[in-house]
Amino acid sequence: MKTSGNTILITGGGSGIGRELALSFNALGNTVIVAGRHMETLQETIAGQRNMHAMTIDIDDPKAIAAFAKRVITEHPSLNLLINNAGIMRREDLSETRDLHDCEQTILTNLLGPIRLTNALTDHLINQPYATIVNVSSGLAFVPLSGTPTYNATKAAIHSYTVSLREQLKGRVELIELIPPAVQTELTPGQSTHEDYMPLNDFIQEVMAQFLLVPTPKEILVKRVDFLRWAERDGHFEQAVKILSTY
């Protein structure tokens, strides 16, 4: 992956990991487009920065995604790097029949959204130099947090989808999976101050150091996520499930 001179689209760029990735890649000499639902927060990300742009997108609406893809290609024809970062996390109680709104919304945003946006941009990306797609999954793709079952499932699906996409686009588009641990962001209420979670700045510094490696790893893993990523391989999967069940 080339780390400068790209035109990068980052979804969920109005806060948290998406915002910090956008600023970090911009500082390396990239043009960055941040996309999300709310222009106000996107404008906060790009305020005072050169070569940064903001565009709204409803990642849940397939027609809106298709229209957005056409617009972003028209306005930024050099687009060659997509970071699928937008996501939501909802707690769910599976012990009784319930309204499935949170479940369905999570699948729409975390799984169908990235699939649809990637699909809408594939024909463009395969013709661009140094084309790259970065999909953000989670350590919970490998060891589930019982209280967020659909979130875990969508991230496991993103991991699997990324593997398949990497094979099908081999030689034309580079596929990278970014696998965060629990990071201090506003993904869920109170998460940004949770003492057991990784500080956002520390996470970004470790991640960007790995993006700068040559060649870029297929999976971007900070040290704190290794316990989850390799739980099954290293024989502590059941222990990890029990530990996460306390959160």
The residues annotated with a catalytic role in the active site are 151
Angle between helices 62-75 and 113-125 (to 10 degrees): 30
**Residue 168 class from Cβ within 10 Å (0-12 exposed, 13-18 middle, 19+ buried)?**
exposed
Q: Would you state the structure tokens that stand for residue 220, as one six-digit string? A: 């971007």
